[in-house]
Amino acid sequence: MDKKITYNAWYFAAALAGILLLQSVIAGFAGTRAISYSEFQQLLRNHKVEAVAVSDRFISGTLKEPLSTGEQRFTTTRVDENFADELGKYDVKVSGQIESTFLRDLLSWVVPVLLFVGIWFFIIRKMAAGGGLGGGLMAIGKSKAKVYVETDTGVTFADVAGVDEAKEELQEVVDFLQNPEHYGRLGGRMPKGVLLVGPPGTGKTLIAKAVAGEAKVPFFSISGSEFVEMFVGVGAARVRDLFEQARKHAPAIIFIDELDAMGRSRMPGLTGGGNDEKEQTLNQLLVELDGFDTKSGVVLLAATNRPEILDPALLRAGRFDRQVLVDRPDKMGRAQILAVHLKKIKLDPDVKPEQVAALTPGFTGADLANLVNEAALLATRRDAMAVAMTDFNNAIERIVAGLEKRNRLINAREREIVAFHEMGHVLVAMALPGSDPVHKVSIIPRGTGALGYTIQRPTEDRFLVTREELESRMAVLLGGRAAEWVVFQHLSTGASDDLRRVTDIARSMVVQYGMSPDLGPVTYERDQRTMLGGMAMPAERAYADTTASTIDREVQDLAQQAFDRAVGVLNERRAQLDATAAKLLESETLDTAQIAAIIAQVPVSA
Ligand code: ADP
Ligand code: MG
Ligand code: ZN
């Protein structure tokens, strides 16, 4: 859009300048000067006038010798109705009609206009011939967003650090691009689209480029946000164009950055209005996704930091059916990322990447790149020979202040609470029978809400769950809150999601599964999930008020029992809780084996 406005402004300025120039040339050639009637009378009386032509309203004529300003011709307004006598007196030749100015007007206005229309057409023709890509600027009638194509991105996996899992998954895409025929040998099919999901600055764009760089294929990229302001139809044309170009250059990668900007969920009932363009673009993308064959050797990558708002149609099988998580790095990941960026600066030997990594919890790859740059600038400012640890400390202080304002970092005290909270979940899960084993625990903030997280993997698919298992599940969910209670004797808001899930379980036990002794084996609520236009209908209540209060009390009892149980478990294992939480604070993530190793050394107090 910006571009277009600028172009138009230039055309306009050029046209104006041209018109003014031509007019002055024509006027100068004619050598005519507009004078007042009294001046004319003066000239007449001084015998300076050679000849005049008179119309109803104007007089024009020639002089015997040029005026002081150089012109020999003049025009003036006719004031005196009858001045023919006077003219005769001074021996001036008179012709009745003034000469026509039509031709002059034509020349001074029409010629420049024609000229610029001509130039305009010439430029458009040239651009159209150049095509969307090679032509550069724009292709009228085709599309206006830029497709960036890099034949060699110059980025490899070595430039991307700390996201080993994502790299491993994408290695497959690299292998495929390097050898598409070989890949389909056993009938296997590449996923059509791979969606990179992760918070901003974690290196999604970078890793997409690295895939192209590793496979040595051209990288066609476009950002979803560029589609937002386009005219209806242009976005769709652009998408078609993008795929067409990539297919021509296959094997190739198409990368759609910020997919959420264009793949935002289409809201039913809210169509029309300003949504048409986005919908058309999205529909075109879906059409292209469905239409393209992975055998063509084109792989589609996209990135988003808000997968939850994407239109579900995009995530269906055969579209973006594989998601790769690009998460914030833990301490070791940060050290590796720092190692990549520290190579670019002159470093004092006293700076250790591990040390800097320890000081920067919550930083993303982009934050770390920024940090290295800031430190280098600070060192330059103090005329140092190399970047020292003090520069890093100062730079960290600055950046942390900024990130805290944007709510992306949690402070030391909060980190401690989160560590105990998460370890609470873990220890309760390990102590209670029938809980899913803990796979990984982390205090690196993930997504928007959760401050830390514990991943439990179910050992097997389950369809039937016993009462005991549900009770254990609730105790594990409350383990976080219980740990806060045991260690700090206070409660925080960090457990609200846990509480919601506990309440859901307890309530289902009472009203759906008939597990409350007081209420008996009776279901009090039918399936609540009667969806009508995406809205849950409030369930009809088919029981007395007294029953309602019994249900509430039973739900409370179940939750309270689970909480007490969790507190009991943690009191017994207080030493283990302290030891593991300290370790978690230090390394930010722990897996099953690491937790087991610590616990093995700390006895359970009876
Ligand atoms: P995203 O697309 O996820 O928002 P970018 O790929 O644009 O993040 O990252 C911005 C910059 O941050 C990169 O150009 C790179 O310098 C740095 N960076 C981010 N993540 C990493 C990483 N994992 N390894 C090395 N550098 C990184
Ligand atoms: Mg990006
Ligand atoms: Zn929790």
Position 559 scores a pLDDT of 94
- CA of residue 204 to ligand 1 center, whole Å: 7
- CA of residue 369 to ligand 1 center, whole Å: 8
Position 572 scores a pLDDT of 92
3-state secondary structure of 591: strand
Question: What is the atom index within ligand 1 of the atom nearest the CA of 163?
Answer: 23
Q: How many domains does the chain have?
A: 4
In 3D, which of 139, 155, 126 has the Cα closest to residue 217? 155
Domain that holds residue 106: 102-139
Percent of the chain predicted with pLDDT > 90: 20
- Closest C-alpha to ligand 1, atom 10: 366
Whether 5 maps to a domain, the answer reads: no
- CA of residue 203 to ligand 1 center, whole Å: 3
Question: What is the atom index within ligand 1 of the atom nearest the CA of 303?
Answer: 2
pLDDT higher than 60, residue 137: no
- Give the ligand with the smallest distance to the CA of 200: 1
- Give the ligand with the smallest distance to the CA of 372: 1
* Highest-scoring range by mean pLDDT, 23-37, 244-258, 469-483: 469-483
- Closest C-alpha to ligand 1, atom 27: 365
Same domain, 458 and 321: no
Same domain, 267 and 153: yes
Confidence of residue 568 (pLDDT cuts 50, 70, 90): very high
Residue 424 · residue 566 · CB < 8 Å: yes
Please state, in angstroms and rounded to a whole number, the distance separating the CA atoms of residues 395 and 381: 13
Position 25 scores a pLDDT of 66
- Mean pLDDT for the stretch of residues 118-130: 73
Pocket of ligand 1 (CB under 6 A): 160-163, 198, 200-206, 303, 337, 340, 365-366, 369
Pocket test for ligand 1, best of 165, 197, 206 (most atoms within 8 A of CB): 206
Q: How many CB atoms lie within 10 A of CB 212?
A: 29
Position 308 scores a pLDDT of 79
* pLDDT tens digits, one per residue of 204-235: 999 999 999 998 889 988 887 776 665 666 77
- CA of residue 324 to ligand 2 center, whole Å: 14
Amino acid code (one letter) for 455 = I
Position 274 scores a pLDDT of 52
CATH of the domain at 342: 1.10.8.60
Whether 320 maps to a domain, the answer reads: yes
Same domain, 278 and 151: yes
- Give the ligand with the smallest distance to the CA of 418: 3
- Give the ligand with the smallest distance to the CA of 419: 3
In 3D, which of 340, 404, 410, 332 has the Cα closest to residue 369? 340
168 classed as catalytic:
no
* pLDDT tens digits, one per residue of 12-21: 788 888 888 7
- CA of residue 454 to ligand 3 center, whole Å: 8
CATH of the domain at 268: 3.40.50.300
Same domain, 338 and 304: no
Question: What is the atom index within ligand 1 of the atom nearest the CA of 209?
Answer: 6
Same domain, 228 and 357: no
Same domain, 373 and 391: yes
- Mean pLDDT for the stretch of residues 372-394: 91
* pLDDT tens digits, one per residue of 391-447: 998 888 888 877 766 666 677 888 899 999 999 999 999 998 877 778 788 887 665
- Closest C-alpha to ligand 1, atom 25: 160
Same domain, 313 and 350: no
* Highest-scoring range by mean pLDDT, 124-128, 447-451, 497-501, 580-584: 580-584
- CA of residue 476 to ligand 3 center, whole Å: 9
Confidence of residue 561 (pLDDT cuts 50, 70, 90): very high
pLDDT higher than 80, residue 149: no
Average confidence score pLDDT of the chain: 80
Residue 333 · residue 379 · CB < 8 Å: no
Which residues, including other chains, have CB under 8 Å from residue 109's CB and lie 6 or more apart?
19
Q: In what order do the strands lie in the sheet with 32-34?
A: 32-34, 73-77, 58-63, 49-54, 93-95
Position 570 scores a pLDDT of 95
Same domain, 470 and 541: yes
- Closest C-alpha to ligand 1, atom 11: 366
Confidence of residue 271 (pLDDT cuts 50, 70, 90): very low
| Last residue in a domain, options 300, 325, 350 | 325
Please state, in angstroms and rounded to a whole number, the distance separating the CA atoms of residues 256 and 304: 9
> Of 214, 258, 422, 554, which is the active-site residue?
422
Question: What is the atom index within ligand 1 of the atom nearest the CA of 161?
Answer: 24
Question: What is the atom index within ligand 1 of the atom nearest the CA of 367?
Answer: 12
Q: Helix crossing, 574-587 with 331-342: angle to 10°? A: 20
